[in-house]
Chains A and B, each alone.
Chain A
Amino acid sequence: MKEKRASRFYGQEIEAVNVGLEGMADALESQGVEVSRVDWKPPKNAVPNLVYTREGINIEAANCEAVRRIMISGAVLTGMGIAKDVIPGMHERMILHAGPPVEWARMCGPTRGAVMGALIYEGLAADADEAETLAASGAFEFDPCHHHQTVGPMAGIVSPGMPVFIVENREFNLRAFATMNEGLGKVLRYGGMGEEVYTRLRWMEDVLYPNLARALETIPDGIDLKSMIAQALHMGDECHNRNRAGTSLFMRAIAPALIRVQTDKEDTARIFEFINGNDHFFLNLSMPAAKAMLMPAKGIEGSTIVTVMARNGTEFGLRLAGIPDAWFTAPAGVVEGLFLPGFSEADANPDIGDSTITETAGFGGFAMAAAPAITQFVGGTPELAVRITQEMYAITQSEHKDFTIPHLNFRGTPLGIDVRRVLETGLLPRINTGIAHKDPGIGMVGAGMLYAPEKCFADAFSAFEKKFCK
């Protein structure tokens, strides 16, 4: 227990931090005091200083509580199931998508492609035309994954029959869900359509899913994803755009169980080949893990911590712990990055996917310093990676006690985006991400970096001020 008495400085050697007039620091140094001089610059925005809510809630304390809950949360992969059976509120005529709410008419190309692909995969439409008519007919309810404790990368489409991972936060008795990752190239989550996409999805449903599910049943404690993320951060992953180490760790953990439950050697080998051939397999585990850990922060009165950042390819949306049911949205940004051969910026869809849940949970782009190898992929340098992580400390409430970065002397990753600090510093969260083609049916065309849009944060700040402070 921290001693909460002002007199606790007695007997301590005075060490000072100086912000402002240099003469003040000089005066201290002339007395032999160690002074750390802050290279202070006026912030870009002079926003109201929010300390207490009208009702007297200490915002800093509310935020500490939010971050405490996120930090003590675990994330364990305990099993799998079919979306309509296990995801709360999911039904036969519902399709989940990434990001904030968006109706068919406003959906971007990749999301439309993925919706249509999912309808074909589900056997509800024979071809793209039929799928489009059906999607536009209003026969299906579209809802954000985030409204159902679910997250999905890129288009993030979850249809009723898709198998999903079940990730448990045992500390708070909560569950989060995500589909299995299909790999790179022409895949549904990038809006890819065509026989190869459906064939792969069917194999995943018929072979990969039942085997993984049975293997997981034989692991009574489940697979500790939080610990795996922590390890992967020490192995060069940031668990958003680089999941090579995480995927390898997962293989290591699942292998014995998988071999025990499976008699068909060829299937076993294909499962290993599939996971091994897809460095992003772990992304669909790190994301629901992030979601599961963030969920207990939802609804904390007076907290300015961001609990969700997500994009649907049309809009970027964020949600705040203190205003749990609102989405603060702005047009999705354009990703600056590197393109696969034959593609350019002109082909790129705006920012898309729920994968920014990783940054929200204190890894992903916020842990760039842990992943120097990723920087080339998203068009940066290792120095930039370190700078990005260091910059993010200015806008987060805390540092993660379990996720650390070796290169920063094992400093905890920046955790808990505080909307106040984003507004005050003018620093926006950095995101690194894959780039989808803007047209349905094509897939991934590159990867890069961008900032979350300022408007979402400004709106969230104003709404918070209005709800709690004015």
Chain B
Amino acid sequence: MKVVTKVIKGQYHDSVSLMLAARAIKESAGVADAAVVMGTEANKALLRQAGLLTREAAKASADDLVISVKAEKGGESILERADDFLAKKSVQSGEEGVSTPQSVREAKQRYPGANVAVISVAGAYAPREAREALAAGLHVLLFSDNVSMQDEIALKRFAVEEGLLMMGPGAGTAILNGIGLGFANAVPSGPVGIVSAAGTGLQEVSCLLAKGGVGISQAIGIGGRDFSARVGGLMAKAGLEALIADEATELIILISKPADATVTAKLVEKLQGGNKPAILCTLGAARKEKQEGSIYFTRTLEECAQTAIRLMGKDIPDYETYRKESSQNLIELAGKLRKDLSGSQKYIRGLYSGGTLCYEAQVIWAEMLSKPVYSNAPLDKEFTLPAGEGHPFHTAIDMGEEEYTVGRPHPMIDNDLRSRFIISAGQDASTAVIVLDVVLGFGVHPDPGAELASAVKQARKASQDAGRALHVVASITGTERDPQSLSGTEESLKQAGVIICSSNARAARLAGFLVNENTGKSEAA
């Protein structure tokens, strides 16, 4: 084995480009390992650990791009082709032609019509970029995580003073004037306005509404911490004000995980003063009255969407009726599927790319299963998932959490790791059912259906070879107009033997019925 390195002076690429390039190089024939990183001290330490730090790489500075390849032979020729792996789409600033702007302010100066900044640089640098964008009068979608609470509060305060939206940090999705920012679906425009502290929650609800024939006016993501006591719902309040003022918005939806009670009360008060009906979707909130005046309280994304569709005058049954009817169908289906399983196959293996979807599933399972579900993002810290695999209990993994995204792209962009987990769950004799979310839309993987289908086929084959059946249940968060197409994705997954449910909640419920002998408890969810 030989390690060869190429250092390109002063060339910067974003982290996803680098990770995808590294992956492409690793897939080349004869390559044992490869890294494509900026030459920061931290990255050089990683190279050293991986045995990829050559003398040349050690000399690189933080502004330099380092490509290291470990291969039996042919490493040099791969380095020569390094540029092919790193096709950069932006116009290079060069001698001729128009150079690209070097900063947000410069971009705004050159394009005075710009009104939104989408920021996804590393968390350490993100607050500064967001501040500059706000100072330049731009609304901000801040995708980046790892931004301090103090920075978040300062930025949101600043935005409120300037009358701007500070969506995030950690905001994956927004739809402004019909345009999706970040990960968003091609949903029709319509009368429902959404403020969401949960990115995939926003996607799931907007897609369920689209399936029900109801469109979106505006959808404002605010990041998961907005409802905390410290941030105090700063941007939720601003978002609600914007929606209350919007003539096109007839119904307002506010989505979050369980929130600070004072903050929630304040927001409810805001909504009550708004003269528009509103639905609060607080995932897993304690049960309470379903309605106070024109404000409706819901506990799952599905319930929220169904309630909204009904309020918008569509002729569908109320949620309780709907849930009972649909559960009946699911129980029958689960009964049939259970017959294929052997005695050892007891557990759910939830593998999620969307954090909110993972959360919603757990909310549903917590009420219908007699045994707890362990997760890396659990409802209750008591059920934190320990390391390892083949656990003798139900598991639900949010693969968008930090422990799975360090050094690799988010699972909505790249299903590599999730595919491996699927295959591994298929080899696990205790797996009864794998549950997946498949999120479509702008910004996500161009064909997640095909990637996941291929992994599912392998997993099912491995399971079959071991004499077991393996059930895979999935829901697709998407619409027909999404770049990946809902029906196309559904088709490729079905061909791989995946059972498709029409919502994330239904997929969770089907899996729940499948593993739960005592189906009587199911009525709760």
Contact = CB atoms under 8 A, between A and B. Distances in A.
B63 interface: yes
Contacts of A19: 104, 117-121, 129, 133
Nearest to B120: A20
A28 B177 CA distance: 13
A86 B108 CA distance: 46
Contacts of B113: 13, 15, 34
A20 B107 contact: no
B124 A46 contact: yes
B162 interface: yes
Contact of A21 (B129, B143, B163): B143
B106 A394 contact: yes
Given A14-B177, A17-B114, A51-B155, A43 B128 contact: yes
Nearest to B235: A6
Nearest to B238: A6
Counting contact residues on chain A (CB < 8 A from B), the size range is 35 or more
B242 A6 contact: yes
A12 B131 CA distance: 22
Interface stretch (B11-19, B416-424, B487-495): B11-19
Contacts of A37: 89-91, 100-101
Interface in A11-47: 11-28, 30-31, 33-34, 36-43, 46
A284 B101 CA distance: 37
Nearest to A21: B120
A36 B464 CA distance: 51
Contacts of B238: 6
A72 interface: no
B89 A22 contact: yes
Contacts of B135: 60
Interface in B100-155: 100-111, 113-122, 124-125, 127-129, 131, 133, 135, 138-139, 143-144, 151, 154-155
Contact of A20 (B143, B442, B483): B143
Given A3-B163, A31-B442, A51-B158, A17 B63 contact: no
Contacts of B139: 6, 9
Given A6-B139, A36-B111, A58-B161, A16 B118 contact: yes
B89 A52 contact: no
A5 B139 CA distance: 11
A22 B17 contact: yes
A24 B118 contact: yes
B117 A16 contact: yes
Contact of A51 (B38, B138, B154, B245): B154
B241 interface: yes
Interface string B265-306: 000000000000000000000000000000000000000000
A42 B111 CA distance: 23
Contact of B125 (A9, A43, A394): A43
Contacts of A260: none
A20 B121 contact: yes
Given A14-B176, A20-B119, A21-B16, A39 B129 contact: no
A38 B16 contact: no
Interface residues of A: mostly helix, strand, loop or mixed? mixed
Interface in B160-196: 161-165, 176-177, 179-184, 186
Contacts of A27: 180, 182-184, 442-443
B163 A8 contact: yes
Nearest to A36: B107
Nearest to B90: A37
B62 interface: yes
Contacts of B180: 27, 31
B177 A11 contact: yes
Given A3-B163, A6-B238, A19-B104, A52 B442 contact: no
Contact of B103 (A16, A34, A394, A411): A394
Contact of B245 (A5, A18, A21, A33): A5
A6 B241 contact: yes
B239 interface: yes
A49 interface: yes
A7 interface: yes
B413 interface: yes
B210 to A, nearest CB: 16
Contacts of A49: 127-128, 131, 151, 154
Given A17-B107, A17-B114, A20-B14, A42 B102 contact: no
A43 B88 CA distance: 20
Interface in A228-245: none
A424 interface: yes
A221 B165 CA distance: 48
Interface centre among B113, B125, B239 (most CB of A within 10 A): B125
Contacts of A15: 111, 113-116
A38 B88 contact: no
B246 interface: yes
Contact of A38 (B101, B161, B241): B101
A17 B93 contact: no
A12 to B, nearest CB: 6
B157 interface: yes
Nearest to B12: A41
Contacts of B115: 9, 12, 14-16
Contacts of A21: 14-16, 120, 143
Contacts of B442: 27-28, 30-31
Interface string A256-291: 000000000000000000000000000000000000
B83 to A, nearest CB: 15
Given A14-B177, A34-B111, 8 more contacts: A9-B139, A21-B15, A21-B143, A26-B89, A33-B179, A37-B89, A37-B91, A58-B158
6 nearest interchain CB pairs? A20-B120, A4-B163, A51-B154, A27-B443, A27-B442, A49-B127
8 contacts: A4-B162, A6-B164, A16-B116, A22-B90, A24-B118, A36-B110, A41-B63, A49-B127
Interface of A: 2-28, 30-31, 33-34, 36-43, 46, 49, 51-52, 58, 60-61, 393-394, 411, 424-425
Interface of B: 12, 14-17, 38, 62-63, 88-91, 93, 99-111, 113-122, 124-125, 127-129, 131, 133, 135, 138-139, 143-144, 151, 154-155, 157-159, 161-165, 176-177, 179-184, 186, 218, 238-239, 241-242, 245-246, 248, 413, 442-443, 483
